[in-house]
A = this chain, B = another copy of it.
Amino acid sequence: MAEAVNIKRLAQELNISIATVSKALNDSYEISLKTKNRVWNLAKELNYTPNPAASNLRSNKTKTIAVVIPCVANNFFSLSIKGIEEIARQYGYHVLIYQTHENIEAEITFTNSLLNGRVDGILTSVSSSEYNSEYYTKLVKKIPLVFFDRVYDNLDAVRVTTDDYEIAFQATEHLIEAGCTKIAYLFGLENLPAGKARFAGYQDALKAHGIAFIEQLVVKYHDDEESNLQQIKELLGNYKPDALFSSIEEFIIPAYCACRELDLQIPNHVKVLSFSNLSTAKLLNPSLTTISQPAFEIGREAAKCLFKILNNKQLDDEQDIILKSVLIKRESTGC
């Protein structure tokens, strides 16, 4: 609808060729500083900005990356995106967002739609519904891709994760030191390396302290809020655990609600601890002991890696970048 200011227009007004204009705009060594300045000035004057479609088509560079995640309405992911965006801005890149809602089919549909040159690269935290290794094995060969937090193992791709095993081990020890001997585990991400690592950290910490692992104390996450609440209530009622270790943030509300409904006091009757990036954890009743992942830094780091790849910079040989989570002790575990 505007008056179409493009390279041709600039060329006409300056009486030079469009090739010269293009090169000047891209600061090519072939063009004299004098000409460059004429072009730059006019471009600014006319508010010229290059047409991205034309530029993409010719150069095969989109200056765009995609972020494929389960959901933005989650503290971890929204913070990650914030980190990603910050880096993307530094590099002058645009950011597309795709939410899979934990649906692997949506995930595949989205990523497939990105392979035709829509983006230069992908950042993803995969869905937990299924572990489709074959698909990603092929995918990483077709487009630069960096996994963060929820990753696929054994692939030729960079992974940015946290010390899930170690921090889960440490958190479990914290519960044990607080006197707990019947620690229930609220199990999320069971199909993914992160979920498995957290669970292993929990199990190994029990073992290291001579506590038997009891299968009945494990509750697996369901998509449905109500059913999680029910499960936890049954767990609390039937097996009387003295602690709930939640491996994902989504269990917090049902866990707290279950305790209230059963008149169980936290932390007196049951201690609670959860992986979480809730900013209001310290304001909960009682304040919640959390394992806080460096979500913002994970986003930044993952984006940095992707841009290194896109700029053909050497990655510091390491394909795995592991950031440290932190255990923040609060009232829900008696601190």
Contacts and interface: CB of A to CB of B under 8 A. Distances in A.
Contacts of A122: none
Interface in A129-174: 142
Interface in A254-283: 256, 278-280, 282-283
A50 B116 CA distance: 7
A86 to B, nearest CB: 8
A97 interface: yes
Contacts of A49: 112-113, 115-116
Interface in A101-125: 112-113, 115-118
Interface in A67-111: 71-75, 78-79, 81-82, 85, 94-99
A52 interface: yes
A278 B253 CA distance: 12
A73 B62 contact: no
Interface stretch (A27-35, A53-61, A232-240): A53-61
| Identical chains bound together, number | 2
A253 B280 CA distance: 7
Interface stretch (A13-21, A199-207, A284-292): A284-292
Contact of A95 (B75, B97, B278, B282): B97
A226 B169 CA distance: 34
A10 B226 CA distance: 51
A252 interface: yes
A314 interface: no
A85 to B, nearest CB: 5
Contact of A96 (B54, B56, B94): B94
A252 B73 CA distance: 19
A71 B51 CA distance: 27
A72 B78 contact: yes
A98 B93 CA distance: 11
Nearest to A109: B89
Contacts of A73: 75, 78-79, 81-82
